[in-house]
Amino acid sequence: NAGVTQTPKFRILKIGQSMTLQCAQDMNHNYMYWYRQDPGMGLKLIYYSVGAGITDKGEVPNGYNVSRSTTEDFPLRLELAAPSQTSVYFCASRVGVGGSDTQYFGPGTRLTVL
């Protein structure tokens, strides 16, 4: 199993540009998550999904959109990039049984908005 994969690894955007961060998992997990990690701030939940076709907002959803058309994929869309979105983005997944199962993380995407 490849686990959780994310592309791209690095990206530089100009203010106002848009892009999609890709996330895929091959473990047949129901739950998928997007976090951003800022220095000294830990991980903040952006969006999550409990299954195909179902998504919900986390702590910091503004400026982002998600979709979940398949179990495997959970892309994160930035429509109008802003400097405040400079961060490292992590995707994660878990089976989704009772909340006690482990989250598996991808390697992250480092995004810089200039």
Partner 1 sequence: AQSVSQHNHHVILSEAASLELGCNYSYGGTVNLFWYVQYPGQHLQLLLKYFSGDPLVKGIKGFEAEFIKSKFSFNLRKPSVQWSDTAEYFCAVNARNNNDMRFGAGTRLTVKP
Sites of contact with partner 1 (CB under 8 A): 31, 33, 35, 40-45, 48, 50, 56, 58-59, 90, 92, 96, 98-100, 102-103, 105-108
- Cβ contacts of 111 within 8 Å, gap of 6 or more: 10, 11, 12, 13, 19, 21, 78, 85, 86, 87, 88, 89
CB of 40 to partner 1, least distance (A): 6
CB of 18 to partner 1, least distance (A): 25
**CA–CA separation, 90 vs 21, rounded Å?**
10
CB of 48 to partner 1, least distance (A): 6
